[in-house]
Structure 1
Amino acid sequence: MTPSLDATQLGAYFALIEASSLLKHAVEQQLREAGDLSYVQFQLLATLGDAPTGSRRMTDLADGVVYSRSGLTYQAQTLEKRGLVTRTQSSDDERSITVTITDEGRAVLAKVFPGHIAVLGDLLFAPLSRADIETLADILTRTRDHMRQTPPRSAEPRRRRKPTSAAE
């Protein structure tokens, strides 16, 4: 028997998807206008800005923002060309790359944050009471934590290719 969702579950799902899309669109527009950043680039800078050292390993960043390793590498290269991050070989793992936010990256974050907060306040939080926000935070945290029990592909161990012989 195929599992099914009731009308309330379907309604909740579609409302979540539509609200997420509308919010992400508005946030992306604000980030482009205020700092010439994509949503993923903002996530990277904000994650690095929140890290105590301002640095994170690429693999950890990919898992945190749920983005492919190759896509994240491209985004980090783009930010590095703008002088917003630096990329170096990790001191504790020669196979890893560490990304660090620069002073210029922190300045761009400081520039985009006021507008970012305004968009969130106007679109996401304005129609909610404080109790609603607390309930929403609880629900989304539990849902996220449940989903994180199955790690995204970016967090899976890399498969090693078998060497091919000259005879193949």
Structure 2
Amino acid sequence: MTSRTPLDPTELSAYFALIEVSSLLRHAVEQQLRDAGDLSYVQFQLLARLGDAPGGSHRMTDLADGVVYSRSGLTYQAGLLEQAGLVTRASSPADERSVTVTITDAGRARLTAVFPGHIELLRSLLFAPLSEGDVAALDGVLARVRDHMRAAPPRSAGRRRKDAPSA
């Protein structure tokens, strides 16, 4: 249902605060990742997801959906990580059309190098002004919004133009 009424002042304030906090945090995180590990934000997300995955592997499409990034952009980033020796790419054993990305020992070592500074940055910028109850409330609110937004498949999961039925 689409509403044509404007946002009320509290909704507008919450929206702008979320956008500003997100931008400030992302800028600081990107700088820390570059300084500590020569990684972009997306590269860090890919390595972190792979590091947490069983066997250290994911299909490229699943990674694109998880980090909300285009398939082509993810392919480029995975290529850079592969050139650096941080991941390997191969055809999926379950589906030859799919590509599987796997973190290497060097990729795990890079994560180990960046995590301490990353955690400290999150604690100092995001969590320091919050109580434990605030953090729990923030987690609950953001989880509900994320789940609501994820109810529709991410763009990377949609049909490709060439796969779309012709008219």
TM-score (norm 1): 0.94
| Seq. identity, % | 71
In 2, the alpha carbon distance for the partners of 1:82 and 1:134 equals: 38
Q: Which residue does the alignment assign to 2:162?
A: 160
Q: Which has the higher helix share?
A: 2
In 2, the alpha carbon distance for the partners of 1:87 and 1:49 equals: 15
Shifted more, 55-64 versus 149-158: the winner is 149-158
In 2, the alpha carbon distance for the partners of 1:117 and 1:32 equals: 15
Q: Which residue does the alignment assign to 1:60?
A: 62
Q: Which residue does the alignment assign to 2:48?
A: 46
Specify the structure having the higher radius of gyration (Cα): 1
In 1, the alpha carbon distance for the partners of 2:119 and 2:27 equals: 14
Q: Deviations over 1:3-53 (max 9, x none)?
A: 311000000000000000000000000000000000000000000000011
Q: Which residue does the alignment assign to 1:146?
A: 148
In 2, the alpha carbon distance for the partners of 1:54 and 1:39 equals: 19
Q: Which residue does the alignment assign to 1:166?
A: none
Aligned length: 162
- Structure 2: 5+ residue stretches without partners: none
In 1, the alpha carbon distance for the partners of 2:82 and 2:16 equals: 37
In 2, the alpha carbon distance for the partners of 1:151 and 1:21 equals: 24
In 2, the alpha carbon distance for the partners of 1:14 and 1:85 equals: 37
The 5 A counterparts of 1:107-118 are: 107-118=109-120
In 2, the alpha carbon distance for the partners of 1:54 and 1:131 equals: 33
The 5 A counterparts of 1:81-160 are: 81-160=83-162
In 1, the alpha carbon distance for the partners of 2:103 and 2:6 equals: 46
Q: Which residue does the alignment assign to 2:4?
A: 2
In 2, the alpha carbon distance for the partners of 1:138 and 1:155 equals: 26
Shifted more, 80-89 versus 1-10: the winner is 1-10
In 1, the alpha carbon distance for the partners of 2:108 and 2:163 equals: 39
- Structure 1: 5+ residue stretches without partners: 163-168
SS class of match (2:55): coil
In 1, the alpha carbon distance for the partners of 2:152 and 2:97 equals: 24
Match of 1:11 among 7, 10, 13: 13
In 2, the alpha carbon distance for the partners of 1:106 and 1:152 equals: 27
SS class of match (2:93): coil
